[in-house]
Amino acid sequence: MKERVKKQAQESLIYLRKRLPTAFPVRLAPITPKKGHDPSGAKFSGRNYILILREDLTELEVQDCIIHEYAHFRVWGLLQAQTYEHDGHWGIEFARVYTEMNEPR
């Protein structure tokens, strides 16, 4: 991941944590993609939410991934359960995160 894109991702997470807190801290984990495999996603380590981002993503793709996965983190905290469903709870949180990320700062 280009250093500029990584820095922007970290700044976005700091901003989101201030505006839309999560139940656990969020950590950024850049990963080199393997051929035919998309490792971007989210997981819970027991103490932190981990945002996994492929290192070859563009700036726009990184922002899309952050919004998508951050919505999962918010749902996991609200429901106190780790679900990857894209249901109404996730949709509402996705809209909140999307709106927050696209508001003038």
Record the pTM.
Answer: 0.89
Average pLDDT for 35-52:
84
Kindly report, residue by residue over 46-102, the tens digit of the pLDDT: 999 999 998 888 889 999 999 999 999 999 998 888 888 899 999 999 999 999 999
pLDDT at 1: 64
CA distances from 60 to 45, 48, 101 (A): 26, 25, 12
Average pLDDT for 17-21:
96
E strand spans, the chain: 26-31, 41-44, 49-54
Average pLDDT for 1-5:
79
Q: Determine what percent of the chain falls in helix, strand and coil, rounding each to the nearest 5.
A: 50, 15, 35
| Domain 3-102 annotated CATH 3.30.2010.10 | yes
